[in-house]
Structure 1
Amino acid sequence: MADPITLSSATRTNLLSLQRTTSLIGKTQERLSTGKDVNSAIDDALSFFKARTLNSRASDLATVKDGISEGIQVLTAATDALSNVEDILKQMKAVASSAKSTAAADSGTRMKLASQFNELRSQIDHLTQDASYNGINLIKSGADTLTVKFSESPSASQRQLKVEGDVTDASGLNVASQSAATTGWGASAGYGATIDNAINDIDSALTTVRDTAQTFGTNASMLQIRSDFTDNLINTLENGASDLVNADVNKESANMLSLQTRQQLGTISLSIAQQSEQAVLRLF
């Protein structure tokens, strides 16, 4: 077995110093490459786990924000559809008014207008049936209920918004179809009262549609406020996590320059120590 190599005190001291410098350079390079001062629990357990908790909550809130955004889209789809329903109701009222002003002897024209009225009524049903977003429809027959959560906590059931749907198809608005026969708008007499009833029903339906649209619009605005708040909270949490673990790039760059200089000096010092030992050997 070979004898162990014995290093002089000066050589050993310089070698250990050089090893420590090399290790510090490695850590500094890691910080510069990752941009983080704390890359694992070994670096700083308290900061590492605090940052992970903050980032986890930010991620959970991002999911909540997605749900809020979906809720806004559901309400937007409903309010857009209600705006179109209102336009159709106005057209129906215009048709009914035109029929009422038609001469008593012109029953044929009133029959045609009754058919137009009924066609417009059917479009209300088609429109409300199509006003769905992501499977949720707040205005169709058998309207759905929208539930939007504001908190990432499963137990925070009170921190949510529940919007009940409101049936606004033709039947839900109590807008009945009109007979084009001689017993209805095509009658030679008495048709005025029938048309007046239809106009009154439309006026009532217009009020209902506008009130419902206002309610949905108010809820959408409130959800937008909550979405903005959640977005700001996510940014705050992420910034807080970054402050705990991110490295000061300028500081680490200066450290790297200093350590590289120290490494070069250590190498020179080690070389000098070895040269001193070689000088001693030349005496023999």
Structure 2
Amino acid sequence: MANTILTSGVRANLLTLQQTTAEQGVIQNRLATGKRVNSAIDNPVNFFTSLGLNDRANELKGLLDGISNGIQTITAASQGIDGITKFVQSLQSTIKQAQADAAANRPNKVGTADVLANATEVADTGGKSRKDIALDKRIGEAAVAARANATDTGHLIDTTTNTNLALTVSAGATTYTVDLSATATVRDLVNEINKSGIATASIDDSGRLNVTGAGSSTLRVGVGAGTNAANARTNASSGTNQNALIGLAVADGDTAGAGIVSAGGNSTVRSNLIKQFNDLRDQIDKLAKDSGFNGKNLLNGDKLSIIFNEKTGANQSKLDVQGETLSAANLGVLTAVSGTPLTGQFNIQDDIALNTAADTLTSALTSLRSISSTLGSNLSVVQTRQDFTKNLVNTLTTGADNLVLADSNEEGAKLLALNTRQQLSQTALSLASQADQGVLRLFG
């Protein structure tokens, strides 16, 4: 078949029309995909750079799920701390209720044998009050116990042989022992008992010695005399002397000592608070165990690792949050009992034990606040990194799109221009064909 010979005019217009159609196809593809770079052929630099940016953005998006779970895990632990704090505060209220009922519980020794001044001494001293007479009396002197009179304050025991004096105050496992001077008075004795922290002492208007324990344990107060300080202390703390249940004024010649013993009692109010206290204590452990999220519990000693970037090894950015095993025992909160406590228990009937329990609960609140502060700081870090990662993903995605996305307005305008050019090219081609037909008419 012979080749068809086109005139130069027709061929030029045909070529223009073909180029316009090809350009229309490119622009139509851009409008259909929304991208001006659809493959490495279009623009290899932009295509692979955009691909890398999108890959990193997708990796960071995947990390956002882990970051979100980390936030919820820390939040769950923080809420657990808040709940435990409320339980500890309720325990403090229970302890305060128990302390408010202390008066019926404290051992107290008051009796006729404890009267250290009498009516005869009031008359002999010219009307001095019984209280002042008792306070001014010396504990011991190298003579048989003597009443007070106008010229002598009087003394309680004979220290001719046993010239050393000592005082012992004990309650439960706590003992306070101190040496008294040879010239010590009842006033000095009262002051030393008050210094012990175990009991309080005073002389009332009847000249009677009042001793009240600070706790509910059996209270023992002993005054001993001996040939030396060690013997005096031994005599002061001897069970025989402390259980003698005699007043100081009854001592004879070279007595080894005299004492006061008063057993503590039990408060019904305090006994009724035991279950309430222990139930609240048990709830601390239960709430701590329920403060986990997605298998992680920072109040049960678990460790939480939150990864912030897509890198590995030394270049990886992450936050490790080490949890703590939180329990009533770890906070130092003991179980309440009535009576002699075992390990891990405290006697709710004992004022001293209650004071210790109150201090422990205060320390527990301090520990909880510290843990809460640490969790809050970690939560702030993770939330900041979450916001940063979201913004970075947006930046990477925008940057990638800027490299490959098409401007639909610009591409639409180009397509409109090409359509116009196509129409003009078709018109030009038609005119060129008409010119060729004019030559044929010459032979008509």
> Does TM, normalized by the shorter one, top 0.5?
yes
What does 1:49-64 correspond to in 2, within 5 Å?
49-64=48-63
**2:416 is equivalent to residue 253 of structure 1:** no
**2:200 is equivalent to residue 201 of structure 1:** no
Runs of 5+ unmatched residues, structure 2: 106-264
**2:287 is equivalent to residue 127 of structure 1:** yes
Letter of the 2:413 counterpart: A
What CA deviation, in whole Å up to 9, does each residue of 1:206-227 have, x standing for no partner? 1111100000101111112222
Corresponding residue of 1:113:
273
- The answer (yes or no) to whether the contact 1:111–1:186 under 8 Å persists in 2 is no
Task: State how far apart, in whole Å, the 2-side matches of 1:30 and 1:186 are.
Answer: 83
Residue 196 of structure 1 deviates from its aligned partner by 2.2
Report the more deviating stretch, 224-233 or 73-82: 224-233
Residue 156 of structure 1 deviates from its aligned partner by 3.7
Letter of the 1:272 counterpart: L
When residues 38 and 157 of structure 1 are mapped into structure 2, their CA distance, relative to the original with a 3 A threshold, is: closer
- The answer (yes or no) to whether the contact 2:266–2:349 under 8 Å persists in 1 is no
Match of 2:306 among 143, 148, 164: 148
Q: Which has the higher contact order (CA 8 A, sep 6+)?
A: 1
Q: State TM-score, norm by structure 1.
A: 0.90
- The answer (yes or no) to whether the contact 2:94–2:273 under 8 Å persists in 1 is yes
What CA deviation, in whole Å up to 9, does each residue of 1:222-257 have, x standing for no partner? 112222222222222112111111222222122111
What CA deviation, in whole Å up to 9, does each residue of 1:63-89 have, x standing for no partner? 223322222221111111101110110
Letter of the 1:131 counterpart: S
Q: RMSD between aligned alpha carbons?
A: 2.2
Letter of the 1:268 counterpart: T
Residue 183 of structure 1 deviates from its aligned partner by 4.0
Q: Computing the radius of gyration over CA atoms, which structure comes out larger, 1 or 2?
A: 2
Residue 194 of structure 1 deviates from its aligned partner by 2.5
When residues 129 and 66 of structure 1 are mapped into structure 2, their CA distance, relative to the original with a 3 A threshold, is: same
Task: State how far apart, in whole Å, the 1-side matches of 2:395 and 2:350 are.
Answer: 67
Letter of the 1:13 counterpart: A
Q: State TM-score, norm by structure 2.
A: 0.59
Task: State how far apart, in whole Å, the 2-side matches of 1:58 and 1:156 are.
Answer: 21
Corresponding residue of 2:34:
35
Corresponding residue of 1:232:
391
When residues 12 and 249 of structure 1 are mapped into structure 2, their CA distance, relative to the original with a 3 A threshold, is: same
What does 1:178-193 correspond to in 2, within 5 Å?
178-179=336-337, 181-183=338-340, 190-193=349-352
Match of 1:218 among 333, 352, 377: 377
When residues 58 and 149 of structure 1 are mapped into structure 2, their CA distance, relative to the original with a 3 A threshold, is: same
Letter of the 2:94 counterpart: V
**2:321 is equivalent to residue 171 of structure 1:** no
- The answer (yes or no) to whether the contact 1:170–1:176 under 8 Å persists in 2 is yes
Structure with greater helix share of residues: 1
Letter of the 1:26 counterpart: G
Equivalent residue of 1:169, what SS? coil
Equivalent residue of 1:247, what SS? coil
What CA deviation, in whole Å up to 9, does each residue of 1:85-112 have, x standing for no partner? 1011000110111022124377333222
Corresponding residue of 2:318:
160
> Percent sequence identity over matched residues?
42
Structure with greater strand share of residues: 2
- The answer (yes or no) to whether the contact 1:108–1:186 under 8 Å persists in 2 is no
Task: State how far apart, in whole Å, the 2-side matches of 1:27 and 1:157 are.
Answer: 43
Corresponding residue of 2:84:
85
Number of residue pairs matched by the alignment:
279
Task: State how far apart, in whole Å, the 1-side matches of 2:292 and 2:71 are.
Answer: 13
Corresponding residue of 2:19:
20
When residues 191 and 157 of structure 1 are mapped into structure 2, their CA distance, relative to the original with a 3 A threshold, is: farther
Equivalent residue of 1:147, what SS? strand
Task: State how far apart, in whole Å, the 2-side matches of 1:230 and 1:84 are.
Answer: 32
Letter of the 1:177 counterpart: T
Task: State how far apart, in whole Å, the 1-side matches of 2:334 and 2:6 are.
Answer: 105
